[in-house]
Amino acid sequence: MKITEQEVRRVAELANLALTEDEIVRMTQDMDGILTHIDKLSELDTSNVEPMSQVLYDAEETATLREDIERKPLGNADALANAPISGQGYFKVPLVIEK
C-alpha cells in the first residue's frame, strides 16, 4: 500500500474536508491506485533537470508592471453580493474569539 487510512485521515484534516468513514475507505483505495501509477516517475533520473513551474517560451522582454493609475474597484456591495452571510460591509463568520 502506498497510503494508509491513517494518512488519508490526516490529509483530510489538512484539506478541511469532513470525510465519512465510507469515504475514507474508498479514498484510500483510489489514492493508492493513482499513487502507484505516479511511482513510475521514479524511473527517471532528474538530478540535472531544472524544475518547470511555468510554461516557458522565447519572447521579447516586456514590462509587466502597469502604470499606477487609479481604477474603479468592484465595490463593496458587488463583492459581498454572493456572501452567505454579510453585514455592515463585512463577510460574517461564526464567533472565533470568545470574550
- Grid cell at residue 88: 455592515
Interface positions with another protein (CB under 8 A) = 3, 7-8, 11-12, 14-19, 23, 27, 30-31, 33-44, 46, 49-60, 62, 64, 66, 74, 78-79, 81-85, 91, 93-94, 96
* 25 in Cβ contact with 5 (< 8 Å): yes
Q: Are 2 and 36 in contact (CB under 8 A)?
A: yes
- Give whichever of 1 and 36 is closer to another protein, judged by the CB atom: 36
